[in-house]
A and B are shown apart, each in its own frame.
Chain A
């Protein structure tokens, strides 16, 4: 079955500390990988995506994720978090088929940045 797994449901971290949010995918779902962020009382917003090419992708607000095919992972990292990074983070994967495809989301990781 196609699946995207996020092993940590909650991650507390102190402000200015580094953080890694883990994501693993089943090989059947991986062609495209995404990280979406959901701030309180808002919808999801695309943070970054891997489509092809360089395995390291970056967002404009300091997050980066690395596509690792051998480990079937797409972990999200930030070297120094801010209070404003407190949010729910969703990993997602998609695969193009002959019919219109859908993106499969993981269960989400709640990042809490502690002052």
Chain B
């Protein structure tokens, strides 16, 4: 148990559906991340929030919309996805010191998303 919880664990959705992924951490961290993990590809950083402000948007299509209402919660809203968006979506958190790339990332178990 890493202290980062993601729900749901599995999600199947059609291309016209709207769904949301949820991430929650009670580690007292200030930075939260969304990563996309596709088979045989490096983890792709999607979004970074530091102290509830988005500090990174790694050229992610607008059909993915993040929301960070507070330091403990992070959402990823999904709409009109494509089959190629099927992947494991991982949430992570870290202490969130500005400009520090040496922080340990704590990952959730991920949401396995299948887009039909």
Are A44 and B99 in touch, CB under 8 angstroms? no
Question: Once bound together, how far apart are the Cα atoms of A41 and B98, in whole Å?
Answer: 31
Partner pick for B107 among A32, A45, A106, CB 8 A cutoff: A45
Also in contact, A103 and B101, with CB within 8 A (given A41-B109, A43-B90, A43-B109): yes
Interface size classification for chain A: 20 to 34
Q: Is A84 an interface residue (CB 8 A)?
A: no
Q: Is B55 an interface residue (CB 8 A)?
A: yes
Are B101 and A46 in touch, CB under 8 angstroms? no
Residue interface bits A66-97, CB-to-B below 8 A is 1, else 0: 00000000000000000000000010001111
Main secondary structure of the interface of A (DSSP, over half): loop
Partner pick for B101 among A41, A45, A101, A108, CB 8 A cutoff: A101
Are B40 and A9 in touch, CB under 8 angstroms? yes
Are B102 and A51 in touch, CB under 8 angstroms? yes
Partner pick for A46 among B31, B58, B100, B105, CB 8 A cutoff: B105
Binding site for B on A (CB under 8 A): 4, 9, 31-32, 36, 41-46, 49, 51, 90, 94-108
* Interchain Cβ contacts under 8 Å between A and B, 14 examples: A42-B109, A43-B2, A43-B92, A43-B110, A44-B90, A44-B107, A45-B2, A94-B101, A96-B99, A97-B101, A101-B101, A102-B45, A102-B48, A105-B42
